[in-house]
Amino acid sequence: MKASRLARCTRLSLNGGSLAILQWLAACSAAPGDGAQPGNAAVAAEAPAPQAGAGGAVAPVAADARLVVAFGDSLYAGYGVTQTESFPARLQAALAEAGVKAVVHNAGVSGDTSAAGRQRLGFVLDGLPRRPDLVIVGLGGNDMLRGLSPDETRANLTAILDELKQRGIPAMLTGMVAAPNMGPDYVAAFNPIYPQLARQYGVPLYPFFLDGVVTDEKLMQADRIHPTAAGIDRVTARIAPLVRQALAR
């Protein structure tokens, strides 16, 4: 998405200033009965350009180390922070602190929709030194921001999970929920995507990537879309235990 389009979308969400956006985000919730946690906020994981290092060369992987791929958009790529502060880097550090030797490859690209992720998945996987032990998929925020059809989002995420399954690669999802101002029909169609796919494919799900972070302005960048380094640490602390469990399967 071009910067001008992003600015218009952001102004729509930020109408009324910082307090309004926090109230708007806090009001977002997943559809009842779908396994997502109440109070999860919707966020547009959009940024103007890919970040340095996103989807680049994989660090050397020792024979006794696990290879994890963080495959997503700007929330994974590390928009607005250094690469050492990005989610993949902090996840690798958290796993090491827990005694799990792993390389977490940053395959996040800012601005990616689920369709863009679907198109590049094979290229990313084929460029790895070996089959990964886990691929964490975090896409769909930009679909929601652009008002793309939830059916398209579901189809693209399904294709991604199908390819991972066909290649024998374990997967994990980090989810998203739609903003209420998208309308009840959109919310009802979008929100169940992640919990339903998680059940269908038997993969772990973290219902909302920025849960517990997005409503705390101290943990968010000025755009109120992307987390600060401290926010990423908070997110990582919540997701790392699920990743450890997935790697132990």
Consecutive 10-residue runs of the chain (249 residues): their mean pLDDT?
A: 38 32 37 34 38 60 94 96 97 98 97 98 97 98 95 98 98 92 95 98 96 93 94 98 96
- Identify the DSSP state of 186: H
| pLDDT tens per residue across span 100-133 | 999 999 999 999 999 999 999 999 999 999 999 9
Tokens of 222: 């000025």
Residues 106, 115 contacting (CB under 8 angstroms): no
Average pLDDT, the chain: 83
**DSSP string over 47-76:** -SSPPTTTT-PPPP--TTSEEEEEEESHHH
Give the other-Cβ count within 10 Å of 62's Cβ. Answer: 10
3-247 homologous superfamily:
SGNH hydrolase (3.40.50.1110)
Q: What are the catalytic residues?
A: 74, 223, 226
At residue 55, the pLDDT reads 55
For the whole model, what pTM was predicted?
Answer: 0.81
Q: Distances from the Cα of 35 to the Cαs of 38, 50, 108, 156, 203, in angstroms?
A: 9, 32, 26, 21, 13
**Taking Cα atoms as reference points, which of 117, 112, 145, 115 lies closest to residue 44?**
145
Which positions ≥6 away from 98 have C-beta within 8 Å? Answer: 240, 244
Residue 173: strand, helix, or coil: strand
At residue 23, the pLDDT reads 37
| In the chain, where the domains are located | 3-247
**Rounded CA separation 225/111 (Å):** 12
At residue 58, the pLDDT reads 78
At residue 56, the pLDDT reads 65
Kindly give the residue spans of alpha helices, DSSP state H, lying in the chain: 3-14, 18-27, 74-77, 87-97, 114-126, 141-146, 150-166, 184-190, 193-201, 229-247
